[in-house]
Structure 1
Amino acid sequence: MFRSWLKVTDKCEQCGLDYRFASPDDGPAFFSLCFVAPPLLAVIVWLQVSLELPTLVLFVIGLPLLGIGCVLPLRPIKGWLVASQFVNKAVEAGTEKLWAEMHEREDDSRNDKLGS
């Protein structure tokens, strides 16, 4: 499904599903920050309250924990959003014709390059 860390490929290698319908945009970052960051922040606050760590030590522990904790789930969340868009046939209202025209032009351009 992915050709790089978060870049969705154009087509599935196994079944040929065209992934160009997928548009999760900032969704993975939103879900990661809303659902992963608060529990991690609670752990950091708990560490500070219970152990009374110096501020520098708290930053050395907390920043990597939050950074890694919010970045690692991005790919699974993006996969989930793409799958949800496929299952629910989600598109922006009124843009079906626009997307179809855009993909048709893209396919024509790709075919012209392959034919040359």
Structure 2
Amino acid sequence: MASDNPETREGQPGLAEAALLGLCPRCGERSLFDGWLAFAGKCNACGLDLSRFNVGDGPAALVTLAVGAITVGLAIWLQLSIEPPWWVHVLLWVPLTLALVIGGLRTTKAFLLASEYRNDAREAGTKDL
């Protein structure tokens, strides 16, 4: 089991790897999520308390705005290019938007949690115990 000190990097995944695969930032096991978007309470492999990390609502706002801009831009481009029937838009954009939002939220939440762990981030005003 690796040390709880973020300075000990041996065996720890990189930020991008942890974010894309949902890896524990300490030990690298795929135990970060308990479901599609909810973090597990703790890592099953190394026991890292994941509940102490707070990624907040930042990922939701960022992903929603980015996916919305991309989806609307592509939908407008498709409409102006080939003018498909309305049901083509529904078949394309509803599943694509859902997949991009869920995948994007999962990735950004994992990235922020791994960043918090790596940088030993804490709530403002709290002191080390």
- Asked if these proteins are the same fold (TM beyond 0.5), I'd say yes
The answer on 1:32 being equivalent to 2:54 is no
The answer on 1:74 being equivalent to 2:100 is no
* Higher CA-based Rg: 1
Amino acid at match of 1:38: A
Report which of the two has the higher share of helix. Answer: 1
CA contact (8 A) 2:75 2:89 kept: yes
Other-structure match for 1:14? 45
CA RMSD of aligned residues (A): 2.2
The whole-number CA distance in structure 1 between the counterparts of 2:34 and 2:114 is 16
Matches within 5 A, 1:35-54: 35-54=66-85
What secondary structure does 2:38 align onto? coil
Residues 50-84 of structure 1: per-residue CA shift (max 9 Å, x gap): 01223444344323322222122221221111111
Number of residue pairs matched? 97
Distance apart, 1:27 and its partner CA: 2.4
The whole-number CA distance in structure 2 between the counterparts of 1:80 and 1:65 is 22
In the alignment, structure 1 segments of 5+ residues that lack a partner are 101-116
Matches within 5 A, 1:36-115: 36-94=67-125, 96=126
The whole-number CA distance in structure 1 between the counterparts of 2:96 and 2:35 is 23
What secondary structure does 2:101 align onto? helix
Percent identity over paired residues: 36
Amino acid at match of 1:92: E
CA contact (8 A) 2:37 2:102 kept: no
Other-structure match for 2:36? 5
The whole-number CA distance in structure 2 between the counterparts of 1:18 and 1:42 is 41
In the alignment, structure 2 segments of 5+ residues that lack a partner are 1-31
Q: TM-score, normalised by structure 2?
A: 0.62
Q: TM-score, normalised by structure 1?
A: 0.68
